[in-house]
Chain A
């Protein structure tokens, strides 16, 4: 955005300033009426004014440039309306929703909510205006903006949201989801889907404890579980490759079979269905418990493991031949075949990696919970998919990467902590997740119209 496009006419600037001051005054008066402390009211007032003026500059700057370019079109207002129809409607909808909420819920209209609304609006405006500069990594940019917005609102509204222990627990849960989403991301890059992830997580969770209970040394049991998980992944890869376009149902089928089979194996002769009881070795508990330590540092090693995996994947997808081939296959399989990239090999490999990391998540979750339960992975069925999609990896393949998924995972995790923090139940969280994924995806992953593809 050039400097001259930000030059507004004097009346526009004065109007903006007046509107900002009025808005700030309303906020300050409400704050004083509600009896907030003076420092907070002043701080909030300054924040309101700054955010509003900033937003005003950005929005009008856009309008001004548009106006310059097309001089003698019918009407400027109409043109602005045509150009910014969608965001203006969105803005109106958000304001209307806020109004409705403040009218229906007692005490909803307080300083903090007004500030939250303003931050939300500011983020929307900034995202809208700046994301044109990021054609390549637009989804990552939007994700980071949403993340920072959510975090700042959460830190303001909720006590202890930004405390060390809460951040640690958010990161821990994000690591579980992140490790589970590794496979989903890689497979999505090929244009496939892996719905067997939650079933392999559950099976690994139960199977590991079962093996330990049988007297197998824990390290050996872990290796066995990881190996079997990889094996299931290989089977998935073969089947999904052979049955092109049916990956969703194939992996669902193998998932059913795996979780059923492992359950039968582990619960024959016992009276407990779906649960396995036993002693988890202390190193496994330390690996993923909240009070675990990494070489003496006070955070669970799972977070470090996730960080290493993410770093390794992001780097290796950029620089290694495997990574480049993976993208090539996702973008255009026919031409990849022409340059002798074996499609079967990559499908099997990616699904195998997916199986491996699912089994790993299952093992780590065992360390966290301390007891085997087949349904431990159930929530990951669509959550991994949501993380991949929110991050910005296309489900059609060839676009995105694990770095994006990391952002997606963090957004989902911070959002869920935030929703828990403001006292919403699990079902409300699910509802809001569902409603939020769509607009987030719609911001960057819209398909072109059919008429452009002929």
Chain B
């Protein structure tokens, strides 16, 4: 019954085939589907930082990590089974997170599990057990996975409300301190980094190759001797582990139990996964993309929370989610077209190039502008705002203006314009160089080019900040710059 869509199979097969045919020496997997999440990430990052420079303070990044990590891990959990094919979109991932959350809280409340090892072990056990049963049902009862996951969704979200009728309870004390988000380096970051590293290591194994093969074409995998039963069970077990980790970080985030919040994670995690360039038809998924997809969703929420839309805040967020999702899906249609001339797209270099530009924006936002009072108090997370009529002027005008520039700032802008332009020019030169290098198939040049370009652009950003020190600025700049 696995009718894998021919389009998806072609899309999976294509990048490797093209890269191997065009540049045999390169070898590595190029994933053009990362183009979209990376671009979106930097657009959103730049926008968010301009709107609220608080994001890039110690506390800002810390709270971003705390809030985004459960979503990232839930996306990883979803990704493991989505790659396995047969349209296994695990709708029950959210309720599963909720289930682990509420049972953990209740067991802690009853003083049964307290120490960290017991809690983490319990979460992993439940997650793995659930996904194991899921895999067995899919393999032996042979019902479509989406129906199994639908049943899981309904029954788990029902039982969650039975176990904990309304939000409440207390997380273990050692865990509650994780969720403060005052600093970047928290245990949550450690979990995130370890989970990401684990996934990257996992992609190096033969098991992962089998998994992708099975997801692309299960019949081909079966006939070529891949043990598909074992591979499918393995994918589900990995998914269970990530769901457990997601649940732990989720509990740390809210420091209590919440039976209904987990269910919304399903839809958001599916959205994040697709934004990250994975194919729901199976066989295609990327840890980097999923990470960025989830972070992108956080950035959308964050950016929108810097506006005060009042009563319609959550609807604006919904609208933005939906629109960005559909547009980014449509843009994946043009990726085969891009591939025709961009033979060997390197996500890493693209990331580096864009991050340098973003760094410039961040430096600009953090140091050059006086943050307006409205945005300096912008909350890091969305919370209920008071109901008030919206001022139409606020809705339509000035989404990017943090504060009106005064005379000295205008002068500074004038002074900085040529530098900014030259930076942009350098960046475009770098991209052209990169394409040239690709076509000359001399791959040893590429890192050097990237390094030089990065250095040049950083220098440009530095000059923008300390224009008078370098002596390039035609206008003496003084009180416009703070600190």
Residue numbers of A with Cβ under 8 A of B are 191, 239, 242-246, 248-250, 252-261, 263-264, 267-273, 382, 385-386, 389, 395-396, 425-435, 437-438, 441-442, 445-451, 453-454
A245 and B279 contact, CB distance less than 8 A: yes
Residue of B159, B267, B281, B321 near A431 (CB, 8 A) is B159
B155 and A264 contact, CB distance less than 8 A: no
Residue-by-residue, is B359-397 near A (CB-CB < 8 Å gives 1, otherwise 0)? 000000000000000000000000000011110100000
Give the residues in chain B near A386, CB-CB below 8 Å. 150, 154
B238-246, B312-320, B424-432, B448-456 - the one binding chain A:
B312-320
Give the residues in chain B near A249, CB-CB below 8 Å. 270-271, 274, 280, 325, 329
Give the residues in chain B near A242, CB-CB below 8 Å. 330, 333
B1 and A447 contact, CB distance less than 8 A: yes
Cβ-closest chain A residue relative to B395? A268
B158 and A255 contact, CB distance less than 8 A: no
B315 and A260 contact, CB distance less than 8 A: yes
Q: List 25 A-B contacts (CB under 8 A).
A: A243-B330, A243-B332, A244-B7, A246-B281, A248-B270, A249-B325, A250-B326, A253-B322, A253-B329, A260-B318, A264-B315, A272-B311, A273-B312, A273-B315, A386-B150, A389-B147, A427-B159, A430-B155, A431-B158, A434-B153, A438-B147, A441-B143, A442-B143, A451-B222, A454-B223
From DSSP, what is the main secondary structure of chain B's interface residues? Answer: helix
Give the residues in chain A near B158, CB-CB below 8 Å. 426-434
**Known contacts A249-B271, A437-B150; is-contact A428 B144 (Cβ 8 Å):** no
B151 and A438 contact, CB distance less than 8 A: yes
**Known contacts A245-B281, A253-B322, A428-B162; is-contact A450 B157 (Cβ 8 Å):** no
B142 and A447 contact, CB distance less than 8 A: yes
Give the residues in chain A near B318, CB-CB below 8 Å. 256-257, 259-260, 263
Give the residues in chain B near A450, CB-CB below 8 Å. 2, 218-219, 222, 228
A446 and B143 contact, CB distance less than 8 A: yes
Residue-by-residue, is B261-285 near A (CB-CB < 8 Å gives 1, otherwise 0)? 0000001001100100001110000
Q: In whole angstroms, how far apart are the Cα atoms of A9 and B178 in the complex?
A: 72
Cβ-closest chain A residue relative to B165? A427
B311 and A273 contact, CB distance less than 8 A: yes
**Known contacts A430-B155, A433-B154; is-contact A260 B319 (Cβ 8 Å):** yes
Within the complex, what minimum Cβ distance (angstroms) separates B165 from chain A? 8
B89 within 8 A of partner (CB): yes
Q: In whole angstroms, how far apart are the Cα atoms of A261 and B323 in the complex?
A: 10
A239 and B326 contact, CB distance less than 8 A: yes
Within the complex, what minimum Cβ distance (angstroms) separates A238 from chain B? 10
A258 and B322 contact, CB distance less than 8 A: yes
Q: In whole angstroms, how far apart are the Cα atoms of A311 and B462 in the complex?
A: 74
B148 within 8 A of partner (CB): yes
Cβ-closest chain B residue relative to A255? B322
Q: In whole angstroms, how far apart are the Cα atoms of A386 and B7 in the complex?
A: 28
Residue of A269, A430, A437, A441 near B390 (CB, 8 A) is A269
Q: In whole angstroms, how far apart are the Cα atoms of A435 and B137 in the complex?
A: 13
Q: Chain B interface residue count: which class?
A: 35 or more
Q: In whole angstroms, how far apart are the Cα atoms of A246 and B333 in the complex?
A: 12
B1 and A245 contact, CB distance less than 8 A: no
B154 and A431 contact, CB distance less than 8 A: yes
A254 and B159 contact, CB distance less than 8 A: no
B141 within 8 A of partner (CB): yes
B156 within 8 A of partner (CB): yes
Give the residues in chain B near A246, CB-CB below 8 Å. 274, 279-281, 329
Residue of A248, A271, A441, A449 near B311 (CB, 8 A) is A271
A245 and B7 contact, CB distance less than 8 A: yes
Residue-by-residue, is B10-37 near A (CB-CB < 8 Å gives 1, otherwise 0)? 0000000000000000000000000000
A434 and B219 contact, CB distance less than 8 A: no
B442 within 8 A of partner (CB): no
Residue-by-residue, is B134-148 near A (CB-CB < 8 Å gives 1, otherwise 0)? 000100011110111
Within the complex, what minimum Cβ distance (angstroms) separates B329 from chain A? 5
B154 and A430 contact, CB distance less than 8 A: yes
Residue-by-residue, is B152-184 near A (CB-CB < 8 Å gives 1, otherwise 0)? 111111111110010000000000000000000
Give the residues in chain A near B161, CB-CB below 8 Å. 425-427, 430
**Known contacts A395-B147, A431-B159; is-contact A252 B142 (Cβ 8 Å):** no
B8 within 8 A of partner (CB): yes
B322 and A257 contact, CB distance less than 8 A: yes
Residue numbers of B with Cβ under 8 A of A are 1-3, 5, 7-8, 87, 89, 91, 137, 141-144, 146-148, 150-162, 165, 218-219, 222-223, 228, 267, 270-271, 274, 279-281, 311-312, 314-323, 325-326, 329-330, 332-333, 387-390, 392
**Known contacts A250-B329, A268-B390; is-contact A396 B3 (Cβ 8 Å):** yes
16 more A-B residue pairs beyond the given contacts A244-B8, A273-B387, A451-B222, with a C-beta to C-beta distance below 8 A: A252-B325, A260-B315, A260-B316, A260-B319, A270-B389, A271-B389, A382-B153, A386-B150, A386-B154, A427-B162, A428-B162, A430-B157, A431-B159, A432-B158, A433-B154, A450-B222
Residue of A270, A389, A446 near B150 (CB, 8 A) is A389
A395 and B155 contact, CB distance less than 8 A: no
Give the residues in chain A near B146, CB-CB below 8 Å. 395
User: Would you list the 4 A-B pairs with minimal beta carbon distance, nearest first?
Assistant: A434-B155, A257-B322, A256-B322, A260-B319
**Known contacts A263-B312, A395-B146, A428-B158; is-contact A453 B219 (Cβ 8 Å):** yes
Residue of B142, B154, B274, B326 near A446 (CB, 8 A) is B142
Give the residues in chain A near B321, CB-CB below 8 Å. 253, 256-257, 260
Q: In whole angstroms, how far apart are the Cα atoms of A386 and B150 in the complex?
A: 8
B325 and A267 contact, CB distance less than 8 A: no
Q: In whole angstroms, how far apart are the Cα atoms of A432 and B143 in the complex?
A: 18
Q: In whole angstroms, how far apart are the Cα atoms of A4 and B281 in the complex?
A: 51
Within the complex, what minimum Cβ distance (angstroms) separates B28 from chain A? 27
Within the complex, what minimum Cβ distance (angstroms) separates A302 from chain B? 26
Residue of B144, B153, B333 near A447 (CB, 8 A) is B144
Q: In whole angstroms, how far apart are the Cα atoms of A24 and B330 in the complex?
A: 66
Cβ-closest chain A residue relative to B386? A271
B319 and A257 contact, CB distance less than 8 A: yes
A239 and B154 contact, CB distance less than 8 A: no
**Known contacts A246-B279, A450-B228; is-contact A260 B155 (Cβ 8 Å):** no
Q: In whole angstroms, how far apart are the Cα atoms of A341 and B108 in the complex?
A: 60
Give the residues in chain B near A451, CB-CB below 8 Å. 222
Cβ-closest chain A residue relative to B327? A253
**Known contacts A437-B150, A442-B141; is-contact A245 B312 (Cβ 8 Å):** no
Q: In whole angstroms, how far apart are the Cα atoms of A261 and B160 in the complex?
A: 31
Give the residues in chain B near A243, CB-CB below 8 Å. 329-330, 332-333
Q: In whole angstroms, how far apart are the Cα atoms of A269 and B388 in the complex?
A: 8
Give the residues in chain B near A244, CB-CB below 8 Å. 5, 7-8, 281
Give the residues in chain A near B228, CB-CB below 8 Å. 450
Within the complex, what minimum Cβ distance (angstroms) separates B337 from chain A? 14
